[in-house]
Structure 1
């Protein structure tokens, strides 16, 4: 039971399924970086919605002369000299000029912006401030909803899903705090492949596969 709990826990748990998918995705990301930037290059990266733990255990920080800004609604300690945490809004990066960064990176953030209008704003801003970008989002139509690790949860009425989250342990083997569940149900707007292409019309759309199905999409110009 403990092993299952770890597998279904949030992606900051190294033993979770989500973390394993992120590690595999990072391999794809690093392979693309190698094609565009020689080892040892100076890289200035903006990670929209990023977390320090995602980068700290990666050899990537040693391979490149890289500085990464982690932009979130709240700042936090990073514990690493190459990582800096700042407060910002993914939908309004007006504090940065065009092509300020060599790369804008974002992992499972754009689906947390409540509305399509906000997602359009974030996409436009990421493309504007970065010379390159790598923006990932879960596939709306994948059989397992990524945030709840429940099959087809994205198609359930919010009231029913709220009850499942808060009154049972079916999601991540735990009962959710009601306020957290309400917050997630309000903010998550999953994207389809067609919508990702609309948001990033000049980008390549990489499809991350699992058992032959598309688990998530990555829009990039690497």
Structure 2
């Protein structure tokens, strides 16, 4: 199997271990919030596909991210372009049953913007679920590269340029360093600081902490 196809089979394919893990995480979400199917959910930084594939779908989903909205959106969803750290009035003027975010807080751009992100999460709903990859899992999840997150920026940039399993292929130094600097994995202390009113769940792979989930329930 070529390395260009290995990532697809490890992470991106619907039958991949990564896809199975994402489905288990959504099932965990549904068990944590048994009335999920009746909720109005704000998804910060996510994609509509998360919910079209979910076993349990909320009554209404409002997705906000920096990508262009898809041409077709089902009647139970609304997708709009927006910055999760600087949300438009159409979002901040509402209150949701649940704020959901999956693998986003590590990409928003530094401590100050993570504080703004966390403030938005905590102010827009009484319940939330915020997941992020754990910094000390031995494999960096975006590039599927062992120990990459512990290297100096210069070496991480070289890995981002040359490692074939990255989530986005980059050939130039400028593109690679941009990806590296916009990816800051978090640890338990940081998540507890940003979400002090939550309980911290730990998702494990082979017994090792793979991701952290800050959860606030009623």
Give the alignment partner of residue 54 of structure 2, picking from 53, 58, 73: 58
Give the alignment partner of residue 183 of structure 2, picking from 179, 184, 188: 188
CA-CA distance at 1:33 after TM superposition: 1.4
Deviations along 1:40-82, one digit per CA (max 9) or x if unpaired, are 63x2110001111111122322xx5x11011012331154221
Once the two structures are overlaid, the 10-residue window that deviates more, 184-193 or 16-25, is 16-25
Give the alignment partner of residue 76 of structure 1, picking from 69, 75, 98: 69
Q: List, as ranges, runs of 4+ consecutive aligned residues in structure 1 with deviation greater than 4 Å.
A: 172-175
User: Which residue in 2 is equivalent to 1:147?
Assistant: 142
Give the alignment partner of residue 85 of structure 2, picking from 91, 104, 125: 91
Alignment CA distance shift 1:84-1:116 (3 Å): same
- Preserved contact between residue 132 and residue 211 of structure 2 (Cα < 8 Å): yes
Deviations along 1:127-173, one digit per CA (max 9) or x if unpaired, are 1011210000010111011111111100112222222232342x349
Give the alignment partner of residue 7 of structure 1, picking from 4, 9, 23: 9
User: Which residue in 2 is equivalent to 1:128?
Assistant: 123
- Preserved contact between residue 8 and residue 172 of structure 1 (Cα < 8 Å): no
Distance in 1 between the 2:116 and 2:155 partners? 31
Distance in 1 between the 2:197 and 2:111 partners? 19
CA-CA distance at 1:84 after TM superposition: 1.3
User: Which residue in 2 is equivalent to 1:101?
Assistant: 96
Give the alignment partner of residue 206 of structure 1, picking from 201, 205, 213: 201
Distance in 1 between the 2:7 and 2:123 partners? 40
| Structure 1: runs of 5+ lacking an equivalent | none
Using the size of structure 2 for normalisation, the TM-score is: 0.87
- Preserved contact between residue 127 and residue 133 of structure 1 (Cα < 8 Å): yes
User: Which residue in 1 is equivalent to 2:21?
Assistant: 21
- Preserved contact between residue 61 and residue 77 of structure 2 (Cα < 8 Å): yes
User: Which residue in 1 is equivalent to 2:215?
Assistant: 220
SS for the counterpart of 2:50 is: helix
Give the alignment partner of residue 60 of structure 2, picking from 52, 58, 67: 67
| Structure 2: runs of 5+ lacking an equivalent | none
Deviations along 1:74-122, one digit per CA (max 9) or x if unpaired, are 3311542212111222112362447700000000000001201111110
Whether 1:45 aligns to 2:63 is: no
User: Which residue in 2 is equivalent to 1:110?
Assistant: 105
